[in-house]
Structure 1
Amino acid sequence: MRILLAAATAGAVLTLAGCGSAAAPSPPTGVDGLVVPTPSPEARDFVRIVDNPWFPLRPGARWRYDDRSAAEAAPGPEIEGVTTTTLVRTAPDGTTTRDHFAQDRAGNVWWFGRDGVWQAGTAGAEAGLMMPARPRVGDGYRSAPGEVSTVEDRDEEVTVPLTTYDDTVVLEVDGTSGASRSEVYARGVGLVQENATGLVAYDEPR
């Protein structure tokens, strides 16, 4: 693969122990060796289906949350020669945002843009990493212009109105304005909690 991430990876750094010895490095992850954001994605490095375990985007899938917001996955536009999948989010007030994602052959999901805000390949913007193929606690990476995501936890048990999940990835997302949010992703479902907002319904694609 050519698109590949230079990791901002805390977990991969050797930590010094007593007596001059060093602890063994953390196991490798999909973030190691990648360049984030990626300046030159190539279509041949991507697949058409986003099926990352913690961020699946099967067209037709729908999510509803207890603040009356919702999301739906749909086929997306081609950006920099890469076919994307669009996540259409509807806020409680009815406004929508359209975010475009694509998955590389290693299983990492990249964020290629948001309608009306930014798009990879335009005005210097570059695709950031949305979800690694193998998230590791401590990994940090640029996900979108002005946003940095850090893997805060794995396998935390989280209860939302729909059910309880224990195969999870918890991301802390920090923006340039200083605002931050916590996002919890469950295997096979995707986003199940953002701050205090929880999932109430998930409809598989038909």
Structure 2
Amino acid sequence: MCNVKLNGLIAISFAALSIVNGSVAAEPHSRSSNVCKGSLTSAYKSCRLDANEEFALATGKCLNVPSRSERKRCANEAKREQREAAEVCKESRAFRKDLCKDFGPGAYAPEIVVSNFLSPEQAAASPNPYLPLVPGTIWKYEGGGESIVVTVTSDTRVIQGITTTIVTDVVSIGGKVVEDTHDYYAQDLGGNVWYFGERVLNYDEEGYLEDLDGSFIAGKDGAKPGIAMKANPQIGDKYRQEFALREAEDVAEIISLTGDGTTPAAACGGGCLVIEETLPAEPDVVEHKYYVPGIGFVFGFDQEAGERTEQLIEYTTP
């Protein structure tokens, strides 16, 4: 993503972070400030700038097309893509406005205290039933032409003073790896699993590294951790799973504790936790994810397409 500086943008006062005794705390804003509204305004401006930048670049490329008819076709395509991008920016702004109603006007500033988190060994000994961080656990999924292998490793990474467990997520199409992700999780004393970021390697069809889109680390470039899985999920709970403005903003809401469905490797039996996941960058995408206690994620369902996204075909414990 290209960073664009523009004189005249409204200055937004972000929370200053300080680290005290291993914790990260935010200095309070004035009572009159609406940080959530300010953030969505800045995100909208950034989105529109990106759309215009892409249009300008595409126009320059079109000018170098030899054929007049192809140049015209290229220019029309560039205009169409700009209009579509602008519309997504508007939809994302509306989505974020709704989130401000849900979460309030204040800054998103979760307090991270090292002593409130379990070590990876402690988390493995007392795992969250819906997201067990037990090294050696492997989930294999298939769907949409993709094969996905998720593995809890014994590797760790320290982020914001917290020792996180590295969970690998490898996506393949036709036997070729197209995405290789390291997800960073940690479990707190209450049993909630937190998400501290991800390192994403995206590959092209020839196996060459294409980009790192989707990557973020809590504590860097304004990114903050979120809750990947609650210890005691209740219907109506709504929370941020991650927060890196315009990069990673997944939001989860608990919609059922009695979901049903089967896969080749697991069955809900009417007792699945169902979480609805949405994100501002793709406001039309709504996925329902089903979790079996003691196993974890078993299948996803795309609400717009009316079909499953992926399903568990094999589950292995150490």
Distance across 2 between alignment mates of 1:73 and 1:134: 22
Distance across 1 between alignment mates of 2:160 and 2:140: 31
Residue in structure 2 matched with residue 86 of structure 1 by the alignment: 166
Residue in structure 1 matched with residue 86 of structure 2 by the alignment: none
* 1:3 Cα offset (Å): 8.3
Compute the TM-score of the two structures, normalised by the length of structure 2. 0.51
Question: What secondary structure, in the 3-state scheme, does the structure 2 residue paired with 1:165 have?
Answer: coil
**Pairs aligned (count):** 174
2:175 is aligned with 1:72:
no
Tell me which of the two structures has the higher relative contact order, counting C-alpha pairs closer than 8 angstroms and 6 or more residues apart.
1
Unaligned stretches of 5+ in structure 2? 1-22, 26-105, 200-211, 244-248, 302-307
* 1:153 Cα offset (Å): 0.8
Which structure 2 residues correspond to residues 184-203 of structure 1 after superposition, within 5 A? 184-195=290-301, 196=308, 197-203=310-316
* 1:57 Cα offset (Å): 1.7
2:228 is aligned with 1:130:
yes
Residue in structure 1 matched with residue 274 of structure 2 by the alignment: 170
2:247 is aligned with 1:143:
no
Residue in structure 1 matched with residue 114 of structure 2 by the alignment: 43
Residues 144 and 58 (structure 1 numbering): CA distance in 2 closer, same or farther, change over 3 Å? same
Compute the TM-score of the two structures, normalised by the length of structure 1. 0.78
Rg: which structure is higher?
Answer: 2
Q: Is the 8 A contact 1:36 1:141 kept in 2?
A: no
Residue in structure 1 matched with residue 76 of structure 2 by the alignment: none
Q: Is the 8 A contact 1:37 1:142 kept in 2?
A: no
Percent identity between the two aligned chains: 29
Q: Is the 8 A contact 1:37 1:143 kept in 2?
A: no
Amino acid at match of 1:201: E
Unaligned stretches of 5+ in structure 1? 5-34
Distance across 2 between alignment mates of 1:181 and 1:113: 20
Distance across 2 between alignment mates of 1:66 and 1:99: 19
